[in-house]
Amino acid sequence: MSELLDGVPWRGAIYSGGWVPAHGGVLDSVEPATGAVLAEVGLADEADVAAATARAAAAQPGWAAAIGPERAAVLRRAAAVLSDNRAEFERWLVREGGAVPGKAAFEVDLALGELWEAAALPTQPWGHLLPASEPGRESVARRVPLGVVGVISPWNFPLILSIRAVAPALALGNAVVLKPDVQTAVSGARWWRGCSRRRACRTGCCTCCRATPGRVRR
């Protein structure tokens, strides 16, 4: 059965401006129902996370400068990747996360809704005309991106709880460093890695670093 990441050297690696070796070791992705090893995923160490953050910071100004319709189009392409490959995503949610098929389908539906809603954000007004403080003066409040946003997603709804934070952050001109839970290390981030292969994202704007608790310190 052909999958979205077939032929991509993602096993034992992390996605940081492309597939790069992970320096924090390798973790088995295990199917809860059978104990079978589904994949070997790379774990980031402190240096990997720092490098990913630096890449995201370098890419973010150009992404923020992109016009709203361009950023909206990227989110729509990302939604198309998920929609076109939903059976694969549902299968990973079932096998890796222990979901029943109905729950997996429900999660994909929620994620698609989040992506389409996020795709509408870049073309919305990004400021307010504030009440005047004195005659003859106008005050304008303008929203600007934060820069690099860190997202840590849990295992129980790994796809939607990643996308609902990643998608609006990207839509509004931020770059993102995503850390999925190691129990769902594939299903928590496979969507964005698939988007990168289908060119539904800008290089460097979203990186993915899996790490075990306590491995990466502030």
Give pLDDT tens digits for 81-92. Answer: 899 999 999 999
Report pLDDT digits (tens) over 161-175: 999 999 999 999 999
In a domain, 72, yes or no: yes
In a domain, 154, yes or no: yes
d(CA 206, CA 149): 9
Report pLDDT digits (tens) over 42-78: 888 889 899 999 999 999 999 999 999 999 999 999 9
Q: What is the DSSP string of 17-57?
A: SSEEE-SS-EEEEE-TTT--EEEEEE---HHHHHHHHHHHH
In a domain, 11, yes or no: no
Residue 149's pLDDT band (cuts 50, 70, 90): very high
Domain that holds residue 59: 20-124+146-208
d(CA 165, CA 20): 24
In a domain, 140, yes or no: no
Q: Which residue has the higher pLDDT, 8 or 105?
A: 105
d(CA 162, CA 181): 10
Query: What was the pLDDT predicted at 12?
Result: 74
Query: What was the pLDDT predicted at 204?
Result: 66
d(CA 44, CA 194): 19
Report pLDDT digits (tens) over 95-111: 999 999 999 999 999 99
Predicted TM-score of the model (pTM)? 0.86
DSSP, collapsed to helix, strand or coil, labels residue 102 as helix
CATH number at residue 201: 3.40.605.10
Structure tokens at 139: 């005050």
In a domain, 170, yes or no: yes
In a domain, 99, yes or no: yes
Q: φ and ψ at 198, to 5 degrees?
A: -90, 10
Considering only CA atoms, which of 16, 19, 24, 22 is closest in space to residue 8? 19
| Number of domains composing the chain | 1
In a domain, 1, yes or no: no
Query: What was the pLDDT predicted at 126?
Result: 81
In a domain, 31, yes or no: yes
Of the ranges 125-134, 176-185, 191-200, the best mean pLDDT one: 176-185
